[in-house]
Amino acid sequence: MGSEWPPIDKGAIRNILVRSTNWLGDAVMTTPALTAIRDSFPGARITVLANALTAELLESHPAVDEVVIYDRKGCHAGFGGRLRLSRELRERRFDLAILLQNAMDAALIAWLARIPLRMGYATDGRGILLTHRVAPTREARRLHHVDYYLRMLEHFGIVASTQKLSLQTSPEEDAAIAELLAGYGIRKDDFLLGINPGATYGSAKRWYPERFAAVATELVAAWGAKVVITGGPGEAQIAGEIDRAIDAPCINLAGKTSVHGLMSLIRRCNFFITNDSGPMHIAAAFGVPLVAIFGPTDHTTTAPYTDRSIVVRSEADCAPCLKRECPVDHRCMTAVTAAEVVKGALELYAEMKEHASAR
């Protein structure tokens, strides 16, 4: 299938630039692709170009040697900023650019940086700027995002040895979160239930504070759990509403951690209740069992990539619409009840306990 493009001499590739996706969740779903790149080019230096948030997520990934921050609102703003960034990259003399992001901007920067080999999907009208391109077929667009990224790489002989998501935290980061939780009376052997009510993409993806609170209250009673609310600064208000509504002690850490801290906090959780969001994918990468609530987004392409998850969604006739804001009555989310989410959580946890006892 790749015969129309010159084959890549993997042994001659010593310096690779990978353009990351911009959203945290999408970046987590590219981690099997990063592993595939590392496996295919074991002697190469791999540099990831990413925005600040995604850079923090990926800078400790074992497949990555360095992360360069693309500051589109600061020193790399506007066309002049892109030229500046391209000059900076040109000085690094990359042999190959692998564009996991689909935008024209990613191809333009790689082209301006004079990277001789430029690989990616021919999306956004950028095919002419790529030396190795793949048409985004209807079949490819229907794939789960993990498989979508891997499919492009496979086209050029970069094959994954695993499709497993992978993230990494440091012992220091984990210890800092353990100390933070200890200050709230959470011991290392306490069952910690994470509640993640946010979704950066838009309000249409957000379930309701009172229903999150009802689920947490039920699971605290069932499991004797301690509750922590996670999220970014933009979720502080909805997290506060949940905190006040939960009929049990609760720690609200929404907006109070860095990305590194959020990763360690989610990794510490024993169970996670979440909207479709970046933290959902972080939990999946760390193997934290979770219930994911889906509304306007397509669960077939962005569901948590783990067998330790249950997706709860309604069969609304307008879903998935992929809209940021609901133009009608938000029926895809109003139809999801707290009882359904509690049932999914109890069933998944019981199933996992059964499997553990059978070993």
CA nearest 244: which of 212, 207, 279?
212
Q: What is the pLDDT of residues 265-289, one digit of tens each?
A: 999 999 999 998 999 999 999 999 9
286-294 average pLDDT score = 96
Q: Which residue has the higher pLDDT, 192 or 237?
A: 192
The number of angstroms, rounded, from the C-alpha of 259 to the middle of its chain's C-alpha atoms is 12
Domains and CATH numbers, the chain: 10-154 (3.40.50.2000), 171-358 (3.40.50.2000)
Q: What is the pLDDT of residues 113-139, one digit of tens each?
A: 999 999 999 999 999 999 999 999 999
Distance CA 195, CA 88 (A): 41
Q: If phi over 0 gives left and psi between -120 and 50 gives alpha, with beta otherwise, what is residue 265?
A: alpha
**pTM of the predicted protein model:** 0.94
Q: If phi over 0 gives left and psi between -120 and 50 gives alpha, with beta otherwise, what is residue 330?
A: left
Write the single-letter amino acid at 268.
Answer: R
Q: What is the pLDDT of residues 75-120, one digit of tens each?
A: 999 999 999 999 999 999 999 999 999 999 999 999 999 999 999 9
pLDDT score, position 2: 40
Q: Is 244 exposed, middle or buried (0-12, 13-18, 19+ CB in 10 A)?
A: exposed
Q: Helices marked H in the chain — which ranges?
A: 24-29, 31-40, 52-58, 78-90, 104-112, 138-141, 145-154, 171-183, 209-223, 236-245, 259-268, 278-285, 299-302, 331-334, 338-358
Residue 3: pLDDT over 60: no
pLDDT score, position 202: 57
The number of angstroms, rounded, from the C-alpha of 33 to the middle of its chain's C-alpha atoms is 13
